[in-house]
Structure 1
Amino acid sequence: MLVAAPKPEDAPRTRAQPLSEIGCDSVGMPCISLAARVPVPRAARAFYHCAAACYHEAPMGRTAGIILIGNELLSGKVVDANAAYLCRELRALGVDVRRIVVIPDEVDQIAAEVAQFSGRFDVVFTSGGVGPTHDDVTIEGVARAFGVPVVRDARMVEVIQRFSGGNLNAARLRMAEIPEGALPMMGDGLVFPAVVMKNVYVLPGVPELFRQKFEGLKEQFRDEPFHLVSVFLSVGEGTLAEHLNEVVRGYPELMLGSYPELANPEYKVKVTLESKDRTYMERALGDFLARLPASVVVRIQQ
């Protein structure tokens, strides 16, 4: 029997890990694995240190990690569309994405990242490597991460048999292989199950299929929402840096971001204030605005 996706209130809950157990980059910011680091301007480093302290003090509710798998991503043959989509969707659900990695189609690397992510985040999503061809090795990597064999699942065979009209060849039967102990999970509108191993959701790399799978499962991930306000300003970050530092020091549970716009005729910087506590966010907003001349505020968007 295929397993239905749990309702949000029934989904297993674990708390987030403190960022001190997750790791930071060279300027103290939460880690996102990248092939190359972008140099941080000296004037911004003090702010980034304060922002990092804010994250250390205030791990959010449910956390997520995303593992993108595919040689084609690392070689530039294919541009990933799944991470940006998933980050937006999870944020709207109240889930805090803490890390994204891109790795090749190699079983050992998949196993290492899945094992690390599974222990570090509440929920993990993999993208790619689940087809019937030689380079689709994600299932094997996930199985190795949990120290279990890959088995052919009778429930998956039944689904594949229906899809193929009974024409089961070796390639199609490979799609029925899952880590031992994993669950084929159905969700709203899904015609083919997603494979779920503990807190790891194995999703396809094709963007249309990836979105279809996630849409069918997403309600089980819903958490307390984030409350966000954006302030658009006509002055640059050099003018704002000390004000931002003061706000972060005064509101250590606030997520504060500063995003310059070099070619926007309307504003120079967008500042975002975000928290799961609306009242706390609004107090921080009032404090920030009180530090600025009213003339530099272009608009405020909630």
Structure 2
Amino acid sequence: MLFGLGIELKTIQVVGDETHDIITSVRELSAQYDIVFTSGGIGPTHDDITYESIAAAFQLDMKIDQETYDYIQKQLAKRNPNTVMTKFHARMATFPHPAILLRELPNIKIPIVVVHDNIYILPGIPSLFQLLLNSLKPKLQAMSQSACFYRREIATASPEVSIASILSDFHTQHVKIGSYPMWNNDKIKVIVTVSGQDLSRVNAIADKLTDAIHGWPYISTPKSHL
């Protein structure tokens, strides 16, 4: 999704459920990059410490959001009218404060909490993460100052070491060349990618590079924009 919006993914970090490590990570990433997404650690159990750790990173308070609290309470009553809200339910409605609470989908009342203007705190459940990330697409599109990226993929039977100098020659400031060796494949030794934000330039270089490395078009996933 980011590729299609012209937003380049720069780094991924895996951080354990340790307050100090989360604080260090979000401070570093928030200062270095325009947008930071976190995933996981926002549930009701003792190891769900993302909200409070990010709050500590930027000296913020933790505060119950009444709208979220009321929504959780309402959902519990629907399932079982005798269910009583506990401190563990309240944990899921307690966010860093002040923060921006985004509710981009009308049927999902649990917000995306945005801290320090650029840290978007998302759940760890993959399907819910994807759903909420997709809900941010219009906002991210408005924030992006760049055109979308385009990519061409080329397969070659030549080993990587034999085409290394060719790839270096084709790599420019405007078009990036990637090289990904294939293992246990009798026909394909390397997948070469050509990507950039100028479609005509990507196509022109990809065509020339295909000839230079005796390659042929390769389509790995439907994510390609060409």
Distance 2:205 2:216 in 1: 18
- Equivalenced residue count is 209
Distance 1:282 1:246 in 2: 16
State the match for 1:174 in structure 2.
91
Query: Which residue, 196, 200, 208 being the options, matches 1:279?
Result: 200
**Contact 1:258 1:270 (C-alpha < 8 Å) held by counterparts:** yes
**Contact 2:62 2:97 (C-alpha < 8 Å) held by counterparts:** yes
Pick closer, same or farther for the CA change 1:93–1:167 going to 2, 3 Å: farther
Aligned to 2:12, the other structure's residue is in SS state strand
**Contact 1:190 1:212 (C-alpha < 8 Å) held by counterparts:** no
TM-score by length of 1: 0.64
Aligned to 2:113, the other structure's residue is in SS state strand
Query: Which residue, 27, 30, 33 being the options, matches 1:115?
Result: 27
Identical-residue share of aligned pairs (%): 30
Shift of 1:106: 1.3
The yes-or-no answer on 1:129 pairing with 2:129 is no
Query: Which residue, 162, 183, 187 being the options, matches 2:104?
Result: 187
Matches within 5 A, 1:62-77: none
State the match for 2:212 in structure 1.
291
Which has the higher mean CA deviation after the structures are superposed, 235-244 or 153-162?
Answer: 153-162
1:97-145 CA-to-partner distances (Å, cap 9, x unmatched) read: 1011111111121111111111111111111110111111100111112
Aligned to 1:102, the other structure's residue is in SS state coil
The yes-or-no answer on 1:254 pairing with 2:172 is no
Query: Which residue, 139, 155, 158 being the options, matches 1:232?
Result: 155
Distance 1:109 1:178 in 2: 19
Which consecutive unaligned segments of at least 5 residues does structure 2 have? 78-82, 220-225
Query: Which residue, 51, 54, 67 being the options, matches 1:155?
Result: 67
1:42-72 CA-to-partner distances (Å, cap 9, x unmatched) read: xxxxxxxxxxxxxxxxxxxxxxxxxxxxxxx
The yes-or-no answer on 1:218 pairing with 2:137 is yes
**Contact 2:40 2:123 (C-alpha < 8 Å) held by counterparts:** yes
**Contact 1:267 1:298 (C-alpha < 8 Å) held by counterparts:** no
Shift of 1:148: 1.1
**Contact 1:156 1:184 (C-alpha < 8 Å) held by counterparts:** no
TM-score by length of 2: 0.84
State the match for 1:268 in structure 2.
189
Which has the higher mean CA deviation after the structures are superposed, 146-155 or 169-178?
Answer: 146-155
Pick closer, same or farther for the CA change 1:167–1:90 going to 2, 3 Å: farther
Matches within 5 A, 1:132-147: 132-147=44-59
